[in-house]
């Protein structure tokens, strides 16, 4: 069975990447242009397997298109570029809404009062094998570090975190020796962001990352790929940990392409 799956994936990876899909990458995924020729070819193959194996479904009246599939798949596969991976084995479906979508939420107020109501979300990652995402938020990413980031990178970072079951901000690392430094550095940075959020101090990192360690990992992954130079300058140890994990150096790639 595993031999068949490997052969099928090898066939998919070896197929020519359509010119129309290449144009989508160049238009919608700026990070693609920072990659080496070998990395671009690897990413193309990974995208073709991802699109073939995962179910994409339009929600809220959205008609599914190749542009939507290729763009979202590209961001998912950028995270996998140099990892040993199995194409997000828990993930089965990607549900795409045209824009932010309402979700019934529960808030606990002062006095232990619980309030239910709809809240708008741009994305979710479920441990049951589903990513939900807003196409408008994928397509129209902010360009400044203080913006709301990249929802596709965010949700697929959650998928990496959830591969071992729960989400705690520590994905499966390449070797066991990394966990101590990961816990020390990301724990310290998470605490610093939480304190800054409580004090309402300005931060490079989105303060949503102070929600919990899982959200912190997803937020710093966004910054690592979207604003690597600023992250490296202001949080060098954090940048180095992500560099060791993802085996990529986006800051250097940005310098080479500037």
> How high is the pLDDT of residue 104?
78
> How high is the pLDDT of residue 121?
92
Domain annotation covers residue 152 = yes
Contact, 80 vs 87, CB < 8 A? Answer: yes
Domain annotation covers residue 170 = yes
Domain annotation covers residue 119 = yes
Q: pTM to 2 decimals?
A: 0.92
Domain annotation covers residue 2 = no
Domain annotation covers residue 201 = yes
> How high is the pLDDT of residue 72?
98
Domain annotation covers residue 7 = no
* Secondary structure (DSSP) of the chain: -HHHHHHHHHHHHHSPPPHHHHHHHHHH-GGGGGS-HHHHHHHHHHHHHHHHHSEEEE-TTPPP-HHHHHHHHHHHHHTTTTS---S-TT--EEEEESS-EEEEEEEEETTTEEEEEEEEESEEEETTTEEEEEHHHHHS---STTS---HHHHHHHHHHHGGGSS-SS----SSTTHHHHHHHHHHHHHHHHHHHHHTT---SS-GGGGS-HHHHHHHHHHHHHHSHHHHHHH-HHHHHHHHHHHT--HHHHHHHT-
Per-residue pLDDT of the chain (258 residues; tens, 9 = 90+): 568 899 999 999 999 999 999 999 999 999 999 999 999 999 999 999 999 999 999 999 999 999 999 999 999 999 999 999 999 999 999 999 999 999 877 666 555 666 676 789 999 999 999 999 999 999 987 655 555 589 999 999 999 999 988 899 999 998 999 999 999 999 999 999 999 999 999 999 999 999 999 999 999 999 999 999 999 999 999 999 999 999 999 999 766 665
Range of the domain at 39: 17-256
Domain annotation covers residue 226 = yes
Q: What is the domain-level CATH number for residue 60?
A: 3.40.390.10
Domain annotation covers residue 118 = yes
Domains contained in the chain, number: 1
């Amino acid at each position: 069975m595993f031999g068949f799956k490997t052969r099928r994936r090898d066939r998919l990876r070896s197929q020519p990447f359509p010119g129309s899909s290449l144009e989508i990458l160049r238009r919608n995924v700026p990070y693609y242009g920072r990659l080496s020729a070998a990395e671009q070819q690897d990413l193309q193959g990974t995208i073709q397997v991802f699109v073939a194996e995962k179910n994409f479904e339009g929600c809220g009246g959205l008609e599914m298109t190749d542009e939507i599939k290729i763009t979202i798949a590209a961001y998912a596969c950028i995270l996998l570029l140099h990892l040993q991976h199995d194409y997000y084995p828990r993930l089965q479906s990607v549900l795409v809404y045209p824009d932010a979508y309402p979700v019934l939420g529960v808030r606990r107020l002062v006095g232990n009062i619980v309030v239910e109501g709809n809240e708008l979300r741009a994305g979710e990652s479920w441990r049951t094998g589903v990513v939900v995402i807003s196409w408008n938020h994928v397509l129209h990413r902010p360009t400044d570090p203080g913006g709301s980031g990249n929802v596709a990178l965010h949700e697929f970072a959650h998928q990496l975190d959830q591969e071992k079951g729960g989400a705690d901000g520590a994905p499966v690392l390449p070797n066991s020796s990394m966990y101590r430094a990961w816990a020390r550095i990301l724990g310290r940075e998470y605490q610093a962001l939480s304190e800054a959020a409580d004090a309402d101090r300005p931060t490079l990192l989105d303060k949503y990352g102070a929600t919990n360690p899982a959200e912190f990992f997803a937020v710093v992954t966004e910054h690592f790929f979207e604003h690597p130079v600023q992250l490296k300058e202001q949080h060098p140890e954090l940048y180095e940990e992500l560099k060791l994990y993802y085996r990529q150096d986006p800051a250097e790639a940005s310098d080479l392409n500037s």
